[in-house]
Structure 1
Amino acid sequence: MSTKFSLVGNQTAAIDLSLLLVRIAAGGFMFTHGWGKLVKLVNGNFEFGDPIGLGVEVSLALTVFAEIICAFLILVGLFTRLAAIPLIITMIVAVFVVHLDHDFGKKELGLFYLINYLVLFLSGAGKYSVDSLLRNK
């Protein structure tokens, strides 16, 4: 690829920038999904589904862990591959259990998040991350 028309200089830089953007979107947006659930959990309101039979409290706590803690870790790029695992599981449950009988429109966002978390699991956080800072020390 000619660098004459390249916005970021080279393919490696483009990939690292792309991973940063994916992390900001997938981590930041998911954090907003989890915020309401965190408030419910802190307030002792356990009105939540129990899609895989773990109990309502456990299901809510695990979802909050994934959507708040793991989403934040993804956002900053810390323990990215490890943090992606609970989010992948959460999205699999959302898409293939909770919304199994719903039309594609209900599954679409969960599938989109799932694909992003799979990409981050496979690729890692990229250069612009805390993981990269720790690796280079």
Structure 2
Amino acid sequence: MRDWLFLPALARFGDLGLLLLRLVTGAFLIWQSHDNIFSAARMHEFERFLTQFNFWAPRLMAPLCVWAQFLCGISLVLGLATRWAGLVTTFVFIVAVWMVHWRQDFPGWWPALILVFLGILFATQGAGRYALDAMLARKQE
């Protein structure tokens, strides 16, 4: 009865779950930021967006935010410096919730809020077994 209730056999797939979550989260971060990196017009549009929400130094903050998301996405896909990527992602999206989504209803908060908590998860749990972080850690032993 206890095994049926708690499903302990699924725990052996935890690293696979982290891999899949890292891949989809990283792909999303890359997808949502790449257009601003490869298009000056899109970056300028993002600067105007930040200005609309009273961000400090939008000309500086726009590329900083976009590059942070893009590099964190690559980091998560590779499973490299995953804890750092989690911390940066958490910070970026706490700021997004506070500065942009605060006035919205809960569904408006949801995408940024989920990225806050995914960042916390990656910062605290790391990348799991199927990652460059794990491979590098094994080589250091």
Instruction: Compute the TM-score of the two structures, normalised by the length of structure 2.
Output: 0.81
Aligned length: 130
> Who is 1:38 aligned against?
37
Instruction: Report the counterpart of residue 24 of structure 2 in structure 1.
Output: 25
Q: Distance in 2 between matches of 1:73 and 1:82?
A: 9
Alignment of structure 1 residues 120-135 onto 2, 5 Å: 120-135=122-137
Q: Give the match for residue 96 of structure 1.
A: 98
How many angstroms does 1:40 deviate by? 3.6
1:125 alignment partner, SS class: coil
Identical positions, percent: 26
Contact 1:84 1:120 in 2 (8 A): yes
* Distance 1:123-1:55 versus aligned 2 partners, 3 A rule: same
Give the structure-1-normalised TM-score: 0.83
Which structure carries more helix by proportion?
2
Report if aligned partners of 1:84, 1:117 keep a CA contact under 8 Å in 2.
yes
Where 2:129 maps in the other structure, the secondary structure is: coil
What residue ranges of structure 1 are gaps of 5+ in the alignment? none
Distance change (3 Å), C-alpha of 1:112 and 1:39: same
Change (3 A) 1:92 1:52: farther
Q: Report what 1:76 is aligned to.
A: 78
CA distance in 1, matches of 2:35, 2:105: 24
Measure, in 2, the Cα distance between the counterparts of 1:54 and 1:100.
Answer: 17
